Amino acid sequence: MTTNQTNLVHRTLSSTSGYAKAGNWSAHRDGTGFVSVYHYSTLMFRIYLPTQEVVPISRGWASVSDKQGVGKILRGYGLNMSYNDVYEGATV
């Protein structure tokens, strides 16, 4: 299902396939309570749905598109977080 970055997680959750794509970003819902968010083929972070915890996986290249995309996706899902909020202090 194609969407935009702002609605990526919501569309993933509402999709019967558990998948949505927004340009070079995609998200996948799995059966363990997580939505995994990718930029190109890099797994950037996962959202644990029961607690809304954002789990950083990879910083990517820390490019402008990485930083803007992470922020748009999280704010669109209702989490007031930026790239720096997710990765500051992370050991990834």
Which one, of 1, 6, 14, lies nearest residue 68 by Cα?
Answer: 6
pTM for the model: 0.95
Tell me, what's the pLDDT at 31? 86
Does residue 92 fall inside a structural domain? no
Neighbour-count burial of 8, counting CB atoms closer than 10 A to its CB (0-12 exposed, 13-18 middle, 19+ buried): buried
Q: Can you give the pLDDT at residue 53?
A: 97
Task: Count the domains in the chain.
Answer: 1
Q: What's the pLDDT at 62?
A: 96
pLDDT tens track for 12-54: 999 988 999 999 999 999 889 999 999 999 999 999 999 999 9
- Please report whether residue 17 resides in a domain: yes
**HSE of 17, CA atoms in CB hemisphere, 13 A:** 7
38: in domain: yes
Question: The domain containing residue 69 runs over which residues?
Answer: 5-87
